[in-house]
Each structure stands twice: as C-alpha cells, then as structure tokens.
Amino acid sequence: MTLSIGVDVGGTKILGGVVDEDGAIVEELRVESPATDAEQIEKAIEQLVTELASRHRIAAIGVGAAGYIDKARSTVMFAPNIAWRNVALKADLEARVNLPVVVENDANAAAWGEFTYGAGHDVEDLLLVTVGTGIGGGIVHDGELLRGAFGVGAEIGHMRVVPDGQLCGCGNRGCFEQYGSGSALVREARAAARAGSLLAQPLLERAGGDVERITGPLITDAARAGDAFAIEQLASLGRWLGEGIASLTAVLDPAVVVIGGGVSEAGELLLEPVRAAFHSQLTGRGHRPVLEIRKARLGNRAGLIGAADLARR
C-alpha cells in the first residue's frame, strides 16, 4: 500500500501524519511552529518528515498552508500568519527531504480530504466552508479542485456581504468572515455582555465575570446546556452563513456544502439555522434541486489527510 505524508502548517503548530490509500492516519507527529522564521519552519518540517520517513516507506509529501499558493503548487506567494513571502517551498523541501513535494492551500487540502474520504465522498461537486477564527473555503468541481487562474481561488471569507461594514484583516470592509466566523460570534457575545445585557448575564457568569473569557467553545457549551442567549448567538451566526452559502450556490451550484472548522462542533445548533437561512435565500428556490448541508467528518485532520492524498496523486 502506498503511503504519503501530509503536513498541516499553522501559526502555532505543525502537524504531520503518515496516511494510507484509505485515508487512515498510520502515525502522527506534532511540533511547534516557529511562525516568524521561514528558515526554521522549513527545518521543523524537515525534522518531522525525516522522523516519520525513518519508520515508513514514503512515496510523497503534501504540505497544506494557510495562504496564497501558486497554481503550480510550488510557491507560497503570501501567508498571513507565517513568515512566507514568495517562498519556493516545493523546491526547498524537496532538497531537504529528497522526496516529491506538493504544496497546497490548507482549505483546499481540507476540501479534498472531505471530498475523498469524508462528508463529500459520494458527490463530484463540493463546497467546503471552514468556520473558525475566519472563514476558509475549498471547491471541488467535477471531481477536481478548483483553484482559479492563478491558484488563489475559493477565498470565500473575503466575499463582501456588507458594504462599508466591519473592517477585516485583509484591509477591506464587510467581508463574509466578519459576520459568519467564530471571531464574529465571540465579538457579538462580548459586546452584549459589556453593554450589560441581562440576556448575556448567565453566559458572563459562566466566564467567571470576565468578558475576555467568553470564547466560542464556552458559547457552544452554554447553548448545549439550554442558555437562550448562547443559542441565539449561534443562530445569528448560522443565518449569516446560510445567506452567504446561498449566494455562493448561485455561482457554484455544488451538490453538497460541508461545514467544518472549530465552530462546526456546535452541530445542529449551528447547522439548523444555516439550513433555514440558506433555503429562504436560495435563488430559484422551489424550481431547482436543493443541495445538502452536512457537517465535516474528518475534523481538524482533513487538511493533513487531503494534502497527503493530493501528493500521492
């Protein structure tokens, strides 16, 4: 059986795993990410790959990174949270590990993982929406990743949904991720707590009276326990996501939308309002087939698994 290594490079950690042809992780390692030093990041990846390859016969390496990857899947043109600017990562790593390397955007890799082994395994057209600190996206069309003319497509989090809205880290205002992300969820809940909202009081008490301790997982836990304010915060987030997905569907027409990322752990508390908003805003509703909105299956290993499979292919 052919084995490959998938590497998921983040701002705080680098996760690597040996993945078989069935998408199963045979062995996994994690190291800290020296995100501010490009040379040290490459050394950390080399160390991780060398150790895994010492125990397994490896055919290729797939590296997933948050950022703009060129269409040749070789150069990181820009990474917002890692010190990579026009880095020839494929060539650098191949010289270090003496194995074929493919570099891919992390959300694209996750979309491919869910398409091949996860929630989209039964379709040919899929949109992955990852809901975490921001919103990431990956598109599979007719069984192939859709990267765009320059390799930097599917940046759905920066689709503008509110003209002159919230300032985004990308420099524009009103981006999708400013309203439909985990950061937006926390921002709105904290704002209500700071304003003295009586509805937010139980959530603030859960946070020990400290507004800064209101987090996405805390809101999800409170919602699961029946907290009305927390449930409504997730529902509001779901409405933003559902309406954004309806707009994306008008362009892409996927068979399945997969919701991943940390906020997806809220399950139906998030997905039910997503589906309701999607159905209410879908163009041509009642006169077209309606896609399914599913929760991701592979969790935070989707990018690793997808990167490994893309390298093997």
Average pLDDT, the chain: 95
Return the minimum-mean-pLDDT range out of 80-89, 132-141, 233-242.
Answer: 80-89
d(CA 214, CA 190): 7
Q: What is the average per-residue pLDDT within 91-111? A: 96
Which residues are CB-neighbours of 177 under 8 A, at least 6 positions away? 134, 135, 157, 158, 168, 183, 184
- pLDDT, position 84: 87
Nearest Cα to Cα of residue 300 among 125, 127, 64, 140: 64
Question: What CATH architecture applies to the domain 123-296?
Answer: 2-Layer Sandwich (3.30)
- Flag whether pLDDT at 81 surpasses 90: no
Extents of the domains making up the chain: 3-112+301-312, 123-296
Residue corresponding to tokens 């890692």? 82
- pLDDT, position 191: 98
Reported as a pLDDT band with limits 50, 70 and 90, residue 18 is: very high
Q: What is the average per-residue pLDDT within 41-64? A: 96
Reported as a pLDDT band with limits 50, 70 and 90, residue 33 is: confident
- pLDDT, position 1: 82
Dig out the tokens for 216 from the structure.
């996405």
What are the residues facing 137 on neighbouring strands?
129
d(CA 163, CA 166): 9
Q: What are phi and psi of 157, to 5 degrees?
A: -65, -15
DSSP 8-state assignment for residue 258? E
- pLDDT, position 201: 97
- Flag whether pLDDT at 148 surpasses 80: yes
**What dotted CATH number matches 3-112+301-312?**
3.30.420.40
d(CA 82, CA 9): 9
- Flag whether pLDDT at 35 surpasses 90: no
- Flag whether pLDDT at 305 surpasses 90: yes
- pLDDT, position 66: 86
136, 157 Cβ separation under 8 angstroms: yes
Same fold, 3-112+301-312 and 123-296: yes
Q: What is the pTM (predicted TM-score) of this model?
A: 0.93
